[in-house]
Structure 1
Amino acid sequence: MGVVVLGAGGKLGQLLQPIYPGAATWLTRADVDVLNSAALTQVLAGADAVICLAGVTNTSTQPMALNTTLARAVLDAAATAQAGRVILFSSAAVYGHTPSPLHEDGPAAPVAPYGFAKLEMEEMATAHPHPNVTIRLGNVAGADAILGNWKPGFTLDTFEDGTTPRRSYIGPNTLARVIHDLTRADTVPDLINVAAPGAVEMGALLEAANLAWEIRPATEHTIANVTLDTARLEQVTTFHPQDSTAAGIVADWRAAKAAQ
């Protein structure tokens, strides 16, 4: 049957669908209610892999616990339907203020409800008998707070030395390729960081995109560096040097926008 993608109506799903490199069935909430077990089991019957984008974001007014509820529903239905591997989406937010580089086997120390909710979802998935892999996703260009939410007068935390926060990023096309590879790999770790290797300054991304921004003094709460260790991911997929540069990430984002 191929790959089934759930939650295709969200920001990430809309970004990825036109550029996904393989055949897939993209389903929104209007197509199937993830909490309707009978309907979900029917659409997942015989699927080679299931990509679950359905979830609650950190800006949602819905209960954060719904992340675990939705993920469990998908895993249960996949098991009943005898579907293949399920890919779930967690977040780098589970690491909190843990010093970088951030490895999957290192400590998770979330500081906000979203991070705690995603960690709870991870723990449920680890205990679930159906094959699954949970992605700890870094920032996705275009679905982020910088490129995706830019508007005139945009401000960015800046440190005294003039630098801006460094974050692990990934372009939409690169992410689509990575997810496709994760659906096809013979073996995949249960938990895996997903971002391009290294990190980029947020200010450098805005400059590469020719988007003006204003300095906002960093505070004691500003995290200077969030760099995901991608060694585990690099055993499954291949990256190119430009995937990790501000210019390359912006070019990837613009190509994805043009495809929409």
Structure 2
Amino acid sequence: MALEKKILALGGSGRVGQMLRAGFEIAGEHRVIWQSRTPLPGGICLDPLADDGVDALANAMKGRDVVFALAGVTPATGGSMSINSVLANKTLAAAEQVGIRHVFFVSSAAVYGVSDVAHREEEALTPVSDYGVSKQRMEEDILRAQSPIRSVILRIGNIVGADQLIGGATKGTTIGLDQFAGGGFPERSYMGPITLTSILTQLFDRALAGDALPQILNVSAPGTVSMDALVQAGGFSFQPRPAPEQAIPRVVLDTKRIEGLVTMPENAAHPDQMIAEWKRLQAAVEGNVT
């Protein structure tokens, strides 16, 4: 008897969606069916932004228990940032139409402002980019909705391979890295793609079990990684350059809340482990491992 596809994931054709599809395959997570606007093997092809987008989404949600709403506009994809709110509202309307209990909405660490201390989920948001502002508005729409749906907002940190640092690098190139007056390089909250897959799978398990989850969660490996350490772990060379005045030295997410809900993979916060996860995923995408 085929395993039921209890989880509908929206946005399977983007960079993160492609990585997660491969990551779930590696993990043996076969409860997820993916939606995209272009055909995917075994997936659902529909355009949520079409005039019948809500009805099409509702039809795709029938028989599911959890929706993972990854679809959206990023600086890399281009398009109007207002689409992020439009997609969230259409997803909520469709989920309410068919009685979906749990929807995970993907937001971003970009909603936070500049701070030397770890960003906590309950702090006031002061985003500095248009993308961050769009995600803040999306979150506000979700939190304002009067709905029986259990919505969980996932503020996801940097993902190795989906970022501009490692994901945009090619073999043999030298990466330019901002270096601050004290000699240090930027530090960011990061995680490997398989760590993200593991976190999501555990959150889905909790939702399917009926557990009450916090409405907002930072999602990342604990602490920060210095970008020079990550570049070196990836086997790339880099060239220091004076950091511009607007460069942010450190962005760190407080991960206490998520660490209380899931078990992090061993060494998830180590740059060597993050790079190993990325390389394993690349091999899986190329069909070299299962």
With normalisation by structure 2, the TM-score equals: 0.87
Partner in structure 1 of residue 226 of structure 2: 201
* Higher mean C-alpha displacement, 228-237 vs 89-98: 89-98
Which amino acid counterpart does residue 219 of structure 2 have in structure 1? Answer: V
Partner of 2:245: 220
User: What do residues 160-203 of structure 1 show as CA deviations (whole Å, max 9, x unaligned)?
Assistant: 33321110001101101111111221121111100001110011
Distance 2:34 2:21 in 1: 7
Matches for 1:69-148 after TM superposition, within 5 Å? 69-128=86-145, 129=147, 130-148=149-167
Question: Is the counterpart of residue 167 in structure 1 residue 188 in structure 2?
Answer: yes
- Range with greater deviation from structure 2 (168-177 or 125-134): 125-134
Shift of residue 241, structure 1, vs aligned partner: 4.6
Answer whether contact 1:141 1:249 (CA < 8 A) is retained: yes
CA contact (8 A) 1:85 1:183 kept: no
CA contact (8 A) 1:98 1:107 kept: no
AA aligned to 1:45 is: K
Structure 1 consecutive aligned stretches of length 4 or more whose deviation exceeds 6 Å: none
Which one has a bigger Cα radius of gyration?
2
Report the Cα offset of residue 105 of structure 1.
0.8
Residue 98 of structure 1 and its aligned partner are, at CA, apart by 3.0
Query: After the TM superposition, which of the residue ranges 234-243 and 222-231 deviates more from structure 2?
Result: 234-243
Please say if residues 233 and 271 of structure 2, whose CA atoms lie closer than 8 Å, have aligned partners that are also in contact: yes
Q: How much does 1:131 deviate? A: 1.6
Residue in structure 2 matching 1:40, options 39, 52, 57: 57
Distance 2:96 2:63 in 1: 10
The worse-fitting range, judged by mean Cα deviation, of 12-21 and 196-205 is 12-21
Comparing 54-63 with 131-140, greater Cα deviation is found at: 54-63
Partner Cα separation in structure 1 for residue 97 and residue 184 of structure 2: 51
| C-alpha separation in 1, matches of 2:212 and 2:236 | 41
Identity of aligned residues (%): 36
Q: Counterpart of 2:268 in 1: which secondary structure?
A: helix
1:14 equivalent among 10, 18, 23: 18
- Superposition deviation, residue 110 in structure 1: 0.5
Q: CA deviation at 1:101?
A: 0.6
Please tell me the residue identity of whatever aligns with 2:120.
Answer: H
Q: What residue in structure 2 maps to residue 25 of structure 1?
A: 33
Give 1:232 shift.
Answer: 0.6
Q: Which sections of structure 2, spanning at least 5 residues, go unmatched?
A: 39-44, 286-290
Task: Tell me, in whole angstroms, the C-alpha distance in 2 between the residues paired with 1:183 and 1:125.
Answer: 19
More divergent stretch after superposition (193-202 vs 176-185): 176-185
What's the secondary structure of 1:244's corresponding residue? coil
Amino acid at match of 2:251: V
Q: Tell me if the contact between 2:174 and 2:236 (Cα under 8 Å) persists in the aligned partners.
A: no
Alignment gaps of 5+ in structure 1 = none
- Name the structure 2 match of 1:68: 85
2:8: which partner in 1? 4
Paired with 2:202 and 2:141, the residues of 1 have a C-alpha distance of: 24
Aligned to 1:235: 260
Shift of 1:52: 1.1
Please report the RMSD computed on the Cα atoms of aligned residues, expressed in angstroms: 1.3
